[in-house]
Amino acid sequence: MSTELEPLADPGLPHHVHRKADTDPAAEKRAERQVSILFLLSAAGTLLFIYSFIWIPTDVFVFLPLLGNTNAHQLGIGTGLGLALFFIGAGAVHWAKTLMPDEEVIAQRHEMRSSDEDRASFVETVKEEAGKVQLGRRSLIKRSLGLALGLVGLSPLILLRDLGPLPEQSLLKTTWDKGIRVVTDPGNRPLRPEDLEVGAIAHVLPEIKDPEHRKLSDIAKDAAILIRVRPSELKLSEERMAWTHEGIIAFSKICSHMGCPVALYEQTTKHLLCPCHQSTFDVPTGAKVIFGPAARPLPQLAITVDDEGYLIAAAPFDEPVGPSFWERNI
């Protein structure tokens, strides 16, 4: 590896090659014509745009290969405007390339660094003027200024306090509670066990007084799924078996990973798949995570039937639903 190399000599800028239009007047005229045609094409584009905007009805569709059925109005104004803009650019670039001077020009660079005299005078000026302030001597001013600026900077942060309520208990509770009926989502109809055959899945919400006006923030926690399997297929502890009813098992629909609804059920394998990051939950073992980044099984909801035979929650969720958070296990 050589360090003090004698490089090959710099042959200097290559010899300038003239363009046709530089020497041949016919070529020059041709180039001019070409540039003008490009600009005129742009004008045509604008005319197409204006025509399309005003005179093509907005509900006409045309069939084009590759694109399929396309709205004619949108296509007309889009093509017109796009070509109008494009050809201005094409014309300008063609003009520059064929007719404008193309001899390369050399300019000199200067070192970014200021000269030593400039630097010295800068330092001197700052020292002198700043020195007049005598900040070093005036420690009381310095400290009180620091205190004032520091404190006033706190105010905008404090002003932001009402951006939102404190979380308090909201992440720990849902609408589900003992005795609340299970209703379909959508439809808000109560369910009986007979409505679900083996292999079926039902997307449900808790029954509330005004089902037409559920708050999205409640839905985001209350969403649940009921899956019916054969009771013999469930592999749960005794305690968790008591939370099921005739093979119907209920889970929170909100993924324990990042909160997407776990809406995809694969009947043959009895797997629930969350479409966001492909976390896969195994229903017979209590929605245990068998694949993907989720770290916890879906919370199970205890269900049973009421006196009229409708499915109800037997108890609220025994853990917070949805994604994890710092205080989750308190």
Region 25-54 residues binding another protein, contact defined as CB under 8 A:
53
Residues 6+ apart with CB under 8 A from 184: 191, 202, 203, 204, 205
Q: CB under 8 Å to 103, separation ≥6 — which residues?
A: 16
User: Which residues 121-160 are close enough to bind another protein by CB under 8 A?
Assistant: 160
Q: Measured in whole angstroms, how far is the alpha carbon of residue 51 from the centre of its chain?
A: 38
152, 163, 194, 307: residue in contact with another protein (rule CB under 8 A)? 163
User: Minimum distance from CB of 136 to another protein (Å)?
Assistant: 31
Q: How far is the CB of 77 from another protein (least distance, A)?
A: 6
Residues numbered 193-232 forming contacts with another protein, rule: CB under 8 A? 203, 205, 216-217, 219-221, 223
Long-range contacts of 52-58 (CB under 8 A, 24+ apart): 52/76, 52/77, 52/79, 52/80, 53/77
Residue 68 Cβ vs another protein, minimum distance, rounded to whole Å: 10
- Of the candidates 301, 297, 323, 324, the one whose C-alpha atom is nearest the C-alpha of residue 313 is 301
Residue among 202, 254, 312, 313 that touches another protein (CB under 8 A): 254
Q: Indicate which single residue of 154, 165, 239, 308 sits in contact with another protein (rule: CB under 8 A).
A: 165
Tokens of 197: 């055959």
Binding mask 264-293 for another protein (x = CB under 8 A): x----------xxxxx---------x-xxx
Give, as ranges, the residues between 303 and 322 that touch another protein (CB under 8 A). Answer: 322
* Token pair recorded at residue 55: 């005179």
Of 8-16, 23-31, 145-153, 175-183, the window that binds another protein (rule: CB under 8 A) is 8-16
* Residue 98 or 300 with smaller CB distance to another protein: 98
Give whichever of 162 and 307 is closer to another protein, judged by the CB atom: 162
Which of 36, 170, 267, 269 touches another protein by CB under 8 A? 170
The residue (of 119 and 142) whose beta carbon lies closer to another protein is 119
Residue 132 vs 209, nearer CB to another protein:
209
Gap between the Cα atoms of 34 and 28, Å rounded: 10
The residues, ordered by sequence, that sit 6+ positions from 19 with a Cβ below 8 Å of its Cβ are: 27, 98, 102
Place of tokens 């803009």: 85
Binding-site member from 17, 63, 65, 109 for another protein (CB under 8 A): 109
Q: Which residue's CB is nearer to another protein, number 283 or number 305? A: 283
Pick the piece of the chain touching another protein (CB under 8 A) from 86-94, 116-124, 140-148, 229-237. 86-94
Backbone dihedral angles phi then psi of residue 193, each to the nearest 5 degrees: -55, -35
Residues 89-108 that bind another protein (CB under 8 A): 89-93, 95-97, 100-102, 104-108
The answer to whether 191 touches 202, Cβ cutoff 8 Å, is: yes
Cβ neighbors of 258 (< 8 A, separation 6 or more) are 276, 277, 323
The token duo for 76 is: 């007309």
